[in-house]
Amino acid sequence: MAQYDAIAEAYQDSKQLPFRKAIERYTLFEALGDIRGLTVLDLACGGGFYTRLLKRSGAGRVTGVDISAEMIRLARREEERDPLGCSYLCRDAADFEPEPEAADVVVAMYLLHYAGSREKLVRFLRVCRDALRAGGRLVGFNDNVMRPPRGTVSWRQYGIEKTGPLSAPDEGDPIRYRFTNPDGRQFEFHNLFLKPETYHDACRECGFRDFRWLGVSLEPGERENPFWDDFLDNPPVVAYSATK
Ligand SMILES: C[S@@+](CC[C@H](N)C(=O)[O-])C[C@H]1O[C@@H](n2cnc3c(N)ncnc32)[C@H](O)[C@@H]1O
C-alpha cells in the first residue's frame, strides 16, 4: 500500500493550514507565471488540490498522476462533484510513460524527495524531461534539503514538525514529518533525504538547464505579519524550477 493511502483525507485537510495558501500556493504560482492555455502534467498530484488550481488558473489540458490509489480516488471524487476537466491516473511516477513532449509544464509538488537514491531521482527526472517540450519547465516544492533537521525541529505555529538523524543525514535517510491540521488532527509521513548537489547533478544528467532552488515567498497581504518570520527564516520546504 502506498504511504499516502492511509492518510489521504488528513493530508487533503492539511491544505487548510495557513502556510499552504500564504506561502506554498503563492510561491508556486509566482514561479509558474501565466499558465493560460498550457498543457500541464501534475506528477504526484495527491488528491488533486493543485491540479484543480492549475486548471482554475486557466491551464489547458491538465493531467494528475499519483501512486496512491486513495489519493487518486479523492481527486476523481472531487472532479465528479465539481467537474473542471482534470484527468487522473494512478501510476508510479518512476515508470510513467508520458506522451512525449506533450507538456508545457510539469508540476511536481513534493515528488522528488521520494526518490531516496540518485538513480531513482534520475528516473523521476527522465519522466519529467520526456513529458516536456523543449523549453518547457519543471516546477515544484521539496523538503528543504539545504537545512535538514538535526533531531526534532518544530514549526508548531504552522502545524509542522520534522525529525531527522542527529548527525548530518546520509543519502536515503528518512526525514519524518508530523502535521497538525487546523482541527487538531495529527498525522505523519516521511520522505527520503538526498543532498542538494544530488538534485543539481541529476537534473544536469537528465538534460535540464538552470535547476534552481527558489526558496519561498510570502503573499503580499501578509508581509507585515510577524507570524511568518520563523517560517521565512528557516523554511521547512522550498520551491525549485528547471527548464528543459
Ligand atoms: C506530500 S504529497 C503531495 C500531494 C500534492 N502534490 C500536493 O501538493 O497536494 C506527496 C504525494 O506524492 C505521491 N508519491 C510519492 N511517491 C510517488 C511516486 N513514485 N509516483 C507517484 N506519486 C508518488 C504520494 O502518493 C503523495 O500523494
Pocket of ligand 1 (CB under 6 A): 2, 4, 44-46, 49-50, 66-68, 71, 92-94, 109-111, 114
Closest Cα to residue 107, out of 33, 178, 13, 21?
33
Tell me, letter by letter, the H, E, C secondary structure of 138-167.
EEEEEECCCCCCCCEEEEHHHCEEEECCCC
Closest ligand 1 atom to residue 45 Cα is 6
- H/E segment holding residue 9: helix 8-13
Nearest-10 crossing angle of helices 69-81, 49-56: 40
Q: What is the pLDDT of residues 77-126, one digit of tens each?
A: 999 999 999 999 999 999 999 999 889 999 999 999 999 999 999 999 99
Determine the Cα–Cα distance for residues 10 and 185; give it in Å rounded to an integer.
Answer: 8
Predicted confidence (pLDDT) at residue 227 exceeds the cutoff of 90:
yes
State in Å: Cα 210 to ligand 1 middle. Answer: 24
Q: Which residue's alpha carbon is at the smallest distance from atom 8 of ligand 1?
A: 109
The DSSP result for 32-84, as a single string, is: H---TT--EEEET-TTSHHHHHHHHTT-SSEEEEES-HHHHHHHHHHHHHS--
* β pairing state of 174-180 and 160-163: antiparallel
Query: What is the set of domains in the chain, with CATH numbers?
Result: 3-146+196-243 (3.40.50.150)
- pTM of this prediction exceeds 0.85: yes
State in Å: Cα 8 to ligand 1 middle. Answer: 10
Predicted confidence (pLDDT) at residue 1 exceeds the cutoff of 80:
no
State in Å: Cα 1 to ligand 1 middle. Answer: 13
